[in-house]
Amino acid sequence: MNSAKEATLADKTPRYGGFSFDLILLETRRLLRNKRTMLSVLLMPVILSFIFTFSAKDAKRPLGVGNLSAFLVISLALYGAVQAASFGGSIISLERIAGWSRQLRTTPLSGSAYIAIKTITSLVLSLISLTAVFVVGVIGHKAHMPVEIWIACAACVWIGSLVFAVFGIFVGYLVPSENAMQFIAFGLILFSFAGGIFIPLSQFPHAIREIAYYTPLYGINEIVHYPLLQSNFDIIWLLNTIVWFAIFFIGAVVKFRGDTKRV
């Protein structure tokens, strides 16, 4: 009798913790229908791209295998991608108010599977954002790199934004819904300056640089510019990225489990 009951329960338990491509499709559609998020994802990075790439006096100055304008485009594409991924993840805070988290308590969906699904859907937003910024850079006729370098940099930016997709989910569970977006926007500005996206770290005092090396965007920012600059790859960049991804992912799973256990 017990064996039959255990077999029945096993049959009802979904594979991979409930991870489903159908659910990914559903979440992606819901995300793309959010007009406020889509405007935030596209407008800010594109506007910054126009300002930086078109106003740079020495934009055509050679740099690495491209020019300075290409360097700026990569930086702004990274900022736009991590912002988009973070905002996509933080939508979870609004879902909690709408009662979606309560619905999840009635399903066998695991925390890891749910975080993975939300992360993948957030990557759709980051891809849209970085594509828009790269298009602006090309249309400006100032950003110049070989085609394969464009592709390599875009891939690095997109994969790197994975860290901040999880960051957005973590914040979505961590802070009240009405403050999640503001918290993320402020945090990204700090991370961007500390990681050297807007101002090269070489221009900061030594003490600030030492702190910046341990911030979430430092490793990703160095990696995405590596194909253009062709400098020596530092394993610390990769370790920095992996560690922050692990911190945000574990934090998101823990908060998810705590949220779904509440009565």
Q: What are the pLDDT digits (tens) for 180-236?
A: 888 898 999 999 999 999 888 888 888 888 999 999 999 999 999 999 998 899 999
Q: Please indicate, yes or no, if residue 59 is contained in any of the structural domains.
A: yes
How many structural domains are present in the chain? 1
> Residue 141: what are its φ and ψ, rounded to 5°?
60, 25
Q: Please indicate, yes or no, if residue 169 is contained in any of the structural domains.
A: yes
Could you tell me what percent of the chain has a pLDDT over 70? 83
Look at the block and give the residue holding tokens 């790269």.
134
**Residue 238 pLDDT more than 80?**
yes
Q: Please indicate, yes or no, if residue 93 is contained in any of the structural domains.
A: yes
Confidence band of 40 (pLDDT split at 50, 70, 90): confident
Amino acid at 97: I
Q: Please indicate, yes or no, if residue 14 is contained in any of the structural domains.
A: no
Q: Please indicate, yes or no, if residue 10 is contained in any of the structural domains.
A: no
**Residue 106 pLDDT more than 60?**
yes
Give the whole-angstrom CA distance, residue 219 versus residue 241. Answer: 5
Q: Please indicate, yes or no, if residue 25 is contained in any of the structural domains.
A: yes
**Residue 12 pLDDT more than 60?**
no
Least confident of 152-156, 241-245, 255-259: 255-259
Least confident of 26-35, 59-68, 70-79: 26-35
Q: Please indicate, yes or no, if residue 12 is contained in any of the structural domains.
A: no
pLDDT of the residue at 1: 44
Buried b (16+ CB within 10 A) or exposed e, 108-141: ebbbbbbbbbbbbbbbbbbbbbbbbbbebbeebe
DSSP 182-233: HHHHHHHHHHHHHTTSSS-GGGS-HHHHHHHTTSTTHHHHHHHHHHHH----
pLDDT average, residue stretch 107-123: 79
Q: In which domain, by residue range, is 123 found?
A: 20-261
Q: Please indicate, yes or no, if residue 186 is contained in any of the structural domains.
A: yes
**Residue 16 pLDDT more than 60?**
no
| pTM of the predicted protein model | 0.85
pLDDT of the residue at 141: 59
Residue 105 or 24, more confident: 24
Confidence band of 4 (pLDDT split at 50, 70, 90): very low
Could you tell me what percent of the chain has a pLDDT over 90? 36
